[in-house]
A and B are shown apart, each in its own frame.
Chain A
Amino acid sequence: MLNGNQPKSTWKANLGDIIPLHLAQEIDEFETQMELRRQGKVDEKVFAEMRLRRGAYGQRYDNGRRHDGEKSQDIPFPNVELTKGPDTKWEAPGMQRIKIPYGGLNGEQMDVLADIAEEYSDSILHITTRQDIQLHFISLDDTPDMHRRLAAVDITTREACGNSVRNVTACPLAGICRDEAFDVTGYANETAHYFLGHRDVQDFGRKFKVAFSGCAQHPCGLTSMHDLGLIAKTRVVNGVEQKGFEMYVGGGLGAVPHLAKLFDEFVPAEELLPLSQAIARIYARYGEKRNRNKARIKFLVSKLGLEEFRRLVLEERQTLENDPDWTNWIEHIESYNEAALPEPAFGEPIELGEAFEQWQSTNVYRQRQAGFVAVTLALPLGDITSLQMRRLADITRRFTGDTARTTVEQNILLRWIHEADLPALYQALREINLHASGAQSIVDVTACPGTDTCKLGIASSRGLGGELCERLANKNLQYNEAVRDIRIKISGCFNSCSQHTVAEIGFFGSSRNINGFRVPHFQVILGGEWDNNAAHYGQTFGAVPSKRVPEVVDHLLTLYMEERQNGEKFREYIARRGKKAIKAEIDRFTSVPSYNEDHSYYADWADAREFTIGDIGVGECAGEVVSLTDFGIALAEGLQFEAQVAIEKTTDQTSVDNAARLALEAMVSAAQALIKVENIDVSNDPAVIVDEFKTRFYDTELFFDPYAKGKFAHYLFNAYEHRDKPKTLDIALRLIEEAGLFIEASHACNERLQAAQLIAPVNPFTELLSRKVTAVSA
């Protein structure tokens, strides 16, 4: 009998015998650090990194301020002086990221995930684009118990965030794929566990992401966009087949995407961990530490050059003392093999009609093992409720060998389903409303959290994603052979968390000032390649108002369906039509009605607040000056576009040089436009512009992004400093990307100036500095 007089039971006591000792100790230590932080005995910056390494992230508004559509208001959190990081209130809700190596889950784990989502979060589990699970609106005080409950089912949140090895991802079809060289599951999991808490991965300047793929041609592993990418390969030596990996390094999306470079054509399985360890050590030793914007390994590989990077790694490899953990798991690798239930769970045919047939056509994958299929559950925007997750755990037990996998497309995959069980499985999924068709199709839109919960979000990626899902599904485009395989991915900012760069149609959030009002926009990215492990990145085609994005998508799809030739893919169609022609099509959707005409354009999707009420009331006097600046930035956008066009068709040295020159000119032009806010007579001499920009906007920090700080200004400074150095295609592409981001930052800076209402006639710089309003960007 339960009663209130009993000593209070705790999860720590209840799970003490179940949680592995080392995990229990780590969680206890974190709880101790929390207490020390409460007592002010741990620095807030140090605590923030500790917290992040436990996967406990900050969330939007955790600085204690929120714009309510009319003004920015303080949120009166209790204990407001207590922080969990710089400018991060302890009591503010946060996000918990939970690492799921290779996306592998079993029913027991799904049950616990459902329980903690219910008790500590808002009953929603969000699958991320790196196979993690995220919970939102979490109180930091709840995290130790939450971690204990996860640890009890062999899930750790350790190093889910922070500057360490993040979740190790893998193709969710591993082991059942028709095209893989071999099953990478065990290799991914052993790599994840080898590096978890390893001493050599504790001193990185930034995060380090690892991905495994079973083949080169499919996108599932996305190895080209990872810090370390591994593609399964076999070779025959002296008549014996060897397993190994094609190893890539230095890939990454983020603001400036880099395709990974081939480090080694064949790394034997026995060398996977030692060589990876050597790479980690070289990254930790030589990677950038002070400037986090240059700290990913992609920058180190670019800086050193691949040959020198490889030499250093191989040299380091020779110095490593043998570690039995490098290989002692290989003899047990077969233990990762999954199996189906011995017999179908039900098997009797059921008449389910057209909806079942359609679902089969989009959500079912025939395994290489005859008679078995894998089924993708298309989760809307990656979300599933706790109740659905608990029922899904039961379904997983009933129909599979108790395994499921999360996917990088924010879905869940059930594998090893007896084909005869498909009707019964469909019925079971229908009972919990997880039977949506269109998995991995055009209606299965991917979106990062964006302005819903992310501190960096500029525009509502999920709001737009939800809108597009509904509209496209209403048109049944998931069954249209011509367009069904087009992927749409939406990020709330330039940081590519939705992986928009590798989608056929991608968007990232931005904003524009229209007659003194801020209007949510999305940059359009077209021509990325999802296949071949994300082998090509898309390019920007300019920004369109958020509310017009559905029109843009409709128009592009209509054009493609009407004009495509010989079955060409969307990416090929975009390339054939050419950037100028496609941009002209998109430019038809850039206009915004006046505020009085239709103010819905001035709010974001699924958000009733005006996007920026702070811009209302900018004086007419300011308007003229601002228009000049806007005009200058628009010219810069044109130059950046010309730079893209320069290397669209040919990539000879002349074209490359031309593109690089135009990209630099675009940045200089945007800088000049900003300078005109104060000095309308600014020189046209680039040297003077760069110098004056540095004095007026960099040294004063007026140009600083609230989170990226001076990162974008350095793009200009570096490009100008190295303007006479020889250019490669890679450099030109990077300069073009950087120019695009510099221009975005110029828009944002211009808007901050206007938000502070400090455009002429007063001197904005003196006034702005005196009022210290550099962070007016909400």
Chain B
Amino acid sequence: MNIERFCVKFLARPGTTLDDAVFIEVFHEWIRRHTLPGILLDVADYRHVPDGPGIMLITHEINFAMDYSEGGFGLLAQRKLGQGTTQQERILELVRATVTFGALLEADPRVAGQLSLEGGAFQFLSNDRLALPNTADGFAAIRPDLEATAAVIYPGQAVSVARLDNDPRDRLTLVVQAGTVDMQTVAGAVGALV
């Protein structure tokens, strides 16, 4: 399999008490300080959209959103372009970037204690209907890459990779499930920059 456009989403654990407005302040600061790798561009505020992408940090390579769309509130990372010659490298790179983002966010003093992301499971969404459609063939094509990548992300853990039963017109979505794991632990496993 060989696709460039895909997303991963880590859901927030229950009990988030944060006012989303704080993300605006944090993300602008990250842009100013070049906190994340990549070319950081801008902050988009979609708080007014119900079940929408909330507050987004737009970068040249990835759109990061504190997202409320299907599946619940969480950190959605939409890969637009990036590094990696194999699909497994590309998935791992996006997971690494997302975990870096999540761990930094959880640790930010304005957020700490009010947001906890579940690192032990994530969704993989194909964002290229032509190359990887929402079909059984599409699932079969990407599953080995995702299983191999999950073994790196969750070393020594039992991991399941299942296809979400969604509308065929929606994006092919796979749920990668390990145990309960903190973002910081995942960050360590994937060599995140935190």
How big is the A interface, by class? Answer: 35 or more
- A329 beta carbon closer than 8 Å to chain B: no
The residues in A between 58 and 81 inclusive whose CB is less than 8 angstroms from any CB of B are 60-61, 66, 68-70, 73, 75-78
Bound complex: CA A122 to CA B42 (Å): 13
- A11 beta carbon closer than 8 Å to chain B: yes
Bound complex: CA A35 to CA B91 (Å): 30
- A93 beta carbon closer than 8 Å to chain B: yes
Contact digits for B33-51, partner A, Cβ 8 Å, 1 yes 0 no = 0000001011111111111
Tell whether, in the assembled complex, residue B63 and residue A122 are in contact, meaning their CB atoms are under 8 Å apart: yes
Bound complex: CA A11 to CA B128 (Å): 11
Tell whether, in the assembled complex, residue B130 and residue A9 are in contact, meaning their CB atoms are under 8 Å apart: yes
Tell whether, in the assembled complex, residue B52 and residue A77 are in contact, meaning their CB atoms are under 8 Å apart: no
Tell whether, in the assembled complex, residue A390 and residue B49 are in contact, meaning their CB atoms are under 8 Å apart: no
Tell whether, in the assembled complex, residue B39 and residue A70 are in contact, meaning their CB atoms are under 8 Å apart: no
Tell whether, in the assembled complex, residue A122 and residue B127 are in contact, meaning their CB atoms are under 8 Å apart: no
Tell whether, in the assembled complex, residue B70 and residue A387 are in contact, meaning their CB atoms are under 8 Å apart: yes
A14 nearest CB across to chain B (Å) = 7
The chain A residue sitting closest to B171, CB to CB, is A118
By a CB distance below 8 angstroms, the chain B residues around A390 are 167, 169-170
Bound complex: CA A666 to CA B44 (Å): 39
B133 nearest CB across to chain A (Å) = 8
Tell whether, in the assembled complex, residue B31 and residue A385 are in contact, meaning their CB atoms are under 8 Å apart: no
Tell whether, in the assembled complex, residue A122 and residue B29 are in contact, meaning their CB atoms are under 8 Å apart: no
A385 nearest CB across to chain B (Å) = 5
The residues in B between 2 and 25 inclusive whose CB is less than 8 angstroms from any CB of A are 2, 5, 21, 24-25
- Segment touching B, from A201-209, A417-425, A538-546, A602-610: A602-610
Tell whether, in the assembled complex, residue B130 and residue A11 are in contact, meaning their CB atoms are under 8 Å apart: yes
Bound complex: CA A3 to CA B80 (Å): 21
Contact digits for B87-98, partner A, Cβ 8 Å, 1 yes 0 no = 100000000000
By a CB distance below 8 angstroms, the chain B residues around A463 are 45
B58 nearest CB across to chain A (Å) = 6
Bound complex: CA A606 to CA B137 (Å): 44
Among B48, B51, B70, residue most surrounded by chain A Cβ atoms (within 10 Å): B48
Tell whether, in the assembled complex, residue B32 and residue A70 are in contact, meaning their CB atoms are under 8 Å apart: yes
By a CB distance below 8 angstroms, the chain B residues around A470 are 48
Given A385-B53, A433-B50, A122:B58 Cβ within 8 A: yes
The chain B residue sitting closest to A383, CB to CB, is B49
Neighbour of A466 across the interface among B45, B50, B58, B170, CB < 8 A: B45
Contact digits for A379-410, partner B, Cβ 8 Å, 1 yes 0 no = 01101110110100000000000000000000
Bound complex: CA A463 to CA B44 (Å): 10
Tell whether, in the assembled complex, residue B41 and residue A387 are in contact, meaning their CB atoms are under 8 Å apart: no
By a CB distance below 8 angstroms, the chain A residues around B31 are 66, 68
The chain A residue sitting closest to B53, CB to CB, is A123
- A111 beta carbon closer than 8 Å to chain B: yes
Tell whether, in the assembled complex, residue A76 and residue B39 are in contact, meaning their CB atoms are under 8 Å apart: yes
The residues in B between 60 and 102 inclusive whose CB is less than 8 angstroms from any CB of A are 60, 63, 65, 69-70, 78, 80, 87
Tell whether, in the assembled complex, residue B141 and residue A124 are in contact, meaning their CB atoms are under 8 Å apart: no
The residues in B between 122 and 139 inclusive whose CB is less than 8 angstroms from any CB of A are 127-132, 137-138
B101 nearest CB across to chain A (Å) = 16
B107 nearest CB across to chain A (Å) = 19
- B28 beta carbon closer than 8 Å to chain A: yes
By a CB distance below 8 angstroms, the chain B residues around A61 are 41-42
- B151 beta carbon closer than 8 Å to chain A: no
By a CB distance below 8 angstroms, the chain A residues around B42 are 60-61, 66
Tell whether, in the assembled complex, residue B41 and residue A66 are in contact, meaning their CB atoms are under 8 Å apart: yes
Bound complex: CA A462 to CA B47 (Å): 11
The chain B residue sitting closest to A466, CB to CB, is B48
Tell whether, in the assembled complex, residue A123 and residue B171 are in contact, meaning their CB atoms are under 8 Å apart: no
Bound complex: CA A137 to CA B39 (Å): 14
By a CB distance below 8 angstroms, the chain A residues around B56 are 122
Tell whether, in the assembled complex, residue B1 and residue A123 are in contact, meaning their CB atoms are under 8 Å apart: no
Contact digits for A1-16, partner B, Cβ 8 Å, 1 yes 0 no = 1111000111100100
Tell whether, in the assembled complex, residue A124 and residue B60 are in contact, meaning their CB atoms are under 8 Å apart: no
By a CB distance below 8 angstroms, the chain A residues around B132 are 2
By a CB distance below 8 angstroms, the chain B residues around A152 are none
- B140 beta carbon closer than 8 Å to chain A: yes
Tell whether, in the assembled complex, residue B49 and residue A119 are in contact, meaning their CB atoms are under 8 Å apart: no
Among B52, B56, B63, B78, residue most surrounded by chain A Cβ atoms (within 10 Å): B52
The chain B residue sitting closest to A122, CB to CB, is B63
B175 nearest CB across to chain A (Å) = 17
Bound complex: CA A240 to CA B132 (Å): 60
Neighbour of B45 across the interface among A123, A462, A609, CB < 8 A: A462
The chain A residue sitting closest to B21, CB to CB, is A606
By a CB distance below 8 angstroms, the chain A residues around B50 are 380, 433-434, 436
B50 nearest CB across to chain A (Å) = 4
Neighbour of B51 across the interface among A8, A137, A387, CB < 8 A: A387
Given A119-B127, A387-B70, A2:B1 Cβ within 8 A: yes
By a CB distance below 8 angstroms, the chain B residues around A111 are 169
- A432 beta carbon closer than 8 Å to chain B: yes
A to B CB contacts below 8 Å, 12 in the list? A14-B130, A66-B42, A68-B32, A76-B39, A77-B39, A123-B52, A123-B69, A124-B52, A139-B80, A433-B51, A462-B45, A466-B48
Binding site for A on B (CB under 8 A): 1-2, 5, 21, 24-25, 28-29, 31-32, 39, 41-53, 56, 58, 60, 63, 65, 69-70, 78, 80, 87, 127-132, 137-138, 140-141, 167, 169-171
10 new A-B pairs (CB below 8 Å) besides A14-B130, A123-B78, A607-B24? A76-B39, A77-B39, A122-B44, A122-B56, A137-B44, A383-B52, A390-B170, A436-B50, A466-B45, A608-B28
